[in-house]
Amino acid sequence: MDTLLLARLQFATTAGIHFLFVVVTLGLVTLLVGLQTAWVITGKQKYERLTRFWGQLYVINYVLGIATGIVMEFQFGLNWSGVSRYVGNVFGAPLAIETLVAFFLESTFLGMWIFGWHRLRRGVHLALLWGVALTAYASAFWILVANSWLQNPVGYEVRDGVAHLTDFGALLTNPTFGMAFGHVVAASLLVGGMLMAAVSAYHLIRRTPDYALHRTSLRIGLVTSALAITLVQGFGFAQFGPVGAVQPTKFGAGDDAQATIAEWTAQFGPGDYTPPVLASVGLGFMILIGLTLGTLWLLLPLLFRDWIIRLRVPLWLILLAVPLPLVAVILGWLAREVGRQPWVAYGLLPVDQAVSPVGAPVMLVSLIGFSLLLGTLAVTNWVLMARHAVRGAHDPALGRPPGPSADVPTEPAFV
């Protein structure tokens, strides 16, 4: 097999699986902040119990997500040495900021939040969770800054065959950045909201002892999802203009695309400069899923007098629909990344010049190894999350008071 194809498959596998962890983490931490803030302000025990329950699921996803991120960066360094050599001076700057400022701080805040239950004052403990959320958003911000530069290289100059950063501000005003960041954040909220609504629907269908707790989380998750899908659609459609202007080959083969291809042919030689059909297919199905999930707004009136619970059918629909946002996230990633092919940095660095000089057999072995490892992590994550989700919010391990277990009400006493 071709080394380049194997390297691209490997990156698609590792980055795609890691991205799923990222959107779940970003979505859940936002909802967690809302739940714990409500608990601190109102003092209601139901918000404390929900914070512990969803915090436990969040921690599981976060820990295993770190492992997938390490694997992704490891294979990136092994397989794409040309990226570091040619554009590392520019591309590496926002990644370094993300690692040093955002990721390390986020992990520190999260560790203090996990072990700070019953040891810190409520306000301090809440501030730590706000720190986790803000640094998570900062991490996503800098990752999108780096990715947007690959989509549309700006603020650089080439000296001695190497790209050097000349205008840091240009990275932040890149036309492929702003709407994409909003789109990813909104998609993460949609994933988190749908996950919360689906788990709550499961418990409401089974009428478990913590019925009233999940009645509250169903409402929070469903309202969040409805608002998020509107933002997803808005930020998504708003990208067509600015992205099409700087990437004329991504969405079609018009006059601008043909002129760009002719320019590349003269500069880099003959080749196939049109993106694979997979990019258009992914974009089309992502839009279809987004429009389908727009019907979430039709479920909101059913929250009145708990008709959504009494009818039961809407609960099953929510439960069955939970994979749709995750599928849409992967399709959107494919549309964005595959749509700039055959470039690593659009119009600047072709993929065949960025791949490491590694033989096909070695690349195949690493593809199989990394795929098995990431697949194991993904399955482990969902099994653990499902197991803890099924147990319910009765008395989660996270935040459990030290010493003998206190009496915990088993009736739906929370309203």
Task: Give the model's pLDDT for residue 403.
Answer: 64
Helix (H) or strand (E) holding 188: helix 178-206
Beta-carbon contacts of residue 75 (< 8 Å; ≥ 6 apart): 10, 11, 14, 366, 370
Report the amino acid identity of residue 12: A
pLDDT band at 2 (very low <50, low <70, confident <90, very high): confident
Measured distance CA(332)–CA(183) in Å, rounded: 10
Task: Give the model's pLDDT for residue 372.
Answer: 94
pLDDT in tens, 19-76: 999 999 999 999 999 999 999 999 999 999 999 999 999 999 999 999 898 888 888 7
Beta-carbon contacts of residue 224 (< 8 Å; ≥ 6 apart): 31, 189, 190, 192, 193, 196
Maximum alpha-carbon separation in the chain: 76
% pLDDT > 70, the chain: 97
pLDDT in tens, 358-407: 889 999 998 999 999 999 999 999 999 999 999 888 888 898 887 654 44
Q: Running DSSP on this structure, what letter comes out for residue 344?
A: E
Q: Running DSSP on this structure, what letter comes out for residue 98?
A: I
For residue 60, the tally of other CB atoms under 10 A from its CB is: 21
pLDDT in tens, 62-112: 999 998 988 888 887 788 888 888 888 898 888 888 887 777 899 999 999
Measured distance CA(64)–CA(51) in Å, rounded: 20
Beta-carbon contacts of residue 187 (< 8 Å; ≥ 6 apart): 23, 228, 232, 325, 328, 329, 332
- Quick check: 72 and 64 in contact, CB under 8 A? no
Paired with 165 in beta bridges are: 156
Task: Give the model's pLDDT for residue 30.
Answer: 97
Task: Give the model's pLDDT for residue 408.
Answer: 45
Above 70 in pLDDT, residue 413? no
Task: Give the model's pLDDT for residue 81.
Answer: 87
Task: Give the model's pLDDT for residue 404.
Answer: 57
For residue 44, the tally of other CB atoms under 10 A from its CB is: 14
| Segment 128-153 mean pLDDT | 95
| Segment 120-125 mean pLDDT | 95
- Quick check: 73 and 40 in contact, CB under 8 A? no
Beta-carbon contacts of residue 137 (< 8 Å; ≥ 6 apart): 26, 185
The domain locations on the chain are: 3-155+168-247+259-383
Task: Give phi and psi for 162, each to the nearest 5.
Answer: -130, 135
Q: Which tokens go with 372?
A: 């098995």
pLDDT band at 248 (very low <50, low <70, confident <90, very high): very high
Task: Give the model's pLDDT for residue 406.
Answer: 43
Q: Exposed, middle or buried: residue 117 (CB in 10 Å: 0-12, 13-18, 19+)?
A: middle
